[in-house]
Structure 1
């Protein structure tokens, strides 16, 4: 037996079923027209990839760029295979290299041996070029070095015995590779660093072909500040060697 609701009770049920006063069918139609239209997956995925690459390129251009440590010249601060993040935002806000900071700089001229070009799969090579360009992987033609700034333009630097001096004052170097001293058997100086240049040396002093070995070249072994990409802010890989040097790199 069914009983038809009449009067106030029936009206109350209708109000609960349609609180906005519209029939259910009208509300469903309104929901469909107001819903965002989704792209098909085959169009949405490439669009997401493009957006991701553009964001990575923006980060590389203005914020951070990743470089790989290829040698032991900065051990044990930085080890072979470490990937370091370089703060590219600092120079935009007036940062300049300071003594004691590890920095990445472009080869000022023949500091690195010529790299042999190798063949390979053209497709994977092209993908690697794109990822390198946007900064997701280190540069393939990596002609960058990482060293520690010892002195800047106008300062004098020299090493004798086991003591490194800048402007005549001994420099404390707790970051040196264990077993090395500041000179590692190579006396030099005093050398006056030209304005607009920096004198750089590796923490593994006995395994670093740095400013000391290029004194016959332009700048007397010093590196132009314009070649400096920025300060090393962090070790970002591998996970077991994560380290943070700070926004300015020290």
Structure 2
């Protein structure tokens, strides 16, 4: 009996350690990241990458006070694509409708065909330690563009990153690595 109780405690501690230091599951609540992620997908965030962001990463971050007012009842965790990081100048849009980073057109192969990169114009420099994030489904995403007038100017501190999204684990028909 004591051995079984010890085994249960060890397994629980191992599960907590994995969640804290290795991967953490999240459910995608909306269509804002389609077509790559769909509402209802369960994803794993790689905790080894917490507090970091690179252009192109899909990240889960704590949006409290930046994307959702504290205590608003809105989701605390958000999943978006990092488009620009500290020091980058991000601008929308060129005459062809593209977003640029430091004057170079941002290639966005993850957008659904025919998707306009942004219906909101912007031209800003991302402060050090912050990131500018967008949903892949630009017509149905609350992201840095829609928060430009909010605290932080729509740019989230990189230290709010919980982890990078590396795989879908549910539903099984969509399970696998995120490209």
Provide the TM-score with structure 1 as the length reference.
0.65
Report whether the alignment pairs 1:203 with 2:136: yes
On the 8 A contact 2:99/2:105 being kept in 1, the answer is: yes
On the 8 A contact 1:155/1:192 being kept in 2, the answer is: yes
Q: C-alpha offsets along residues 198-226 of structure 1, whole Å, 9 cap, x if unaligned?
A: 00000001100100011112321110011
- Aligned residue among 104, 107, 113 for 2:60: 104
- Aligned residue among 212, 220, 223 for 2:153: 220
Instruction: Give the paired residue count.
Output: 175
How far the C-alpha of 1:162 sits from its partner, in A, is 2.1
Pairing of 1:4-83 with structure 2 (within 5 A)? 40=1, 43-83=2-42
How far the C-alpha of 1:189 sits from its partner, in A, is 2.2
On the 8 A contact 2:46/2:163 being kept in 1, the answer is: yes
* Structure with greater proportional helix content: 1
* Structure with greater proportional strand content: 2
How far the C-alpha of 1:111 sits from its partner, in A, is 2.2
On the 8 A contact 1:85/1:236 being kept in 2, the answer is: yes
Partner of 1:181: 116
Q: C-alpha offsets along residues 178-204 of structure 1, whole Å, 9 cap, x if unaligned?
A: 431211x22x22111011000000000
In 1, the alpha carbon distance for the partners of 2:73 and 2:113 equals 30
Provide the TM-score with structure 2 as the length reference.
0.89
Give the secondary structure class of the aligned counterpart of 2:7: helix
In 2, the alpha carbon distance for the partners of 1:190 and 1:148 equals 18
How far the C-alpha of 1:110 sits from its partner, in A, is 5.5
- Aligned residue among 146, 159, 172 for 2:107: 172
Partner of 2:123: 190
Q: Which consecutive unaligned segments of at least 5 residues does structure 2 have?
A: none
How far the C-alpha of 1:51 sits from its partner, in A, is 1.8
- Where in structure 1 do 4 or more consecutive aligned residues deviate above 4 Å? none
Give the secondary structure class of the aligned counterpart of 1:157: strand
Give the secondary structure class of the aligned counterpart of 2:131: strand
Q: Which consecutive unaligned segments of at least 5 residues does structure 1 have?
A: 1-39, 117-141
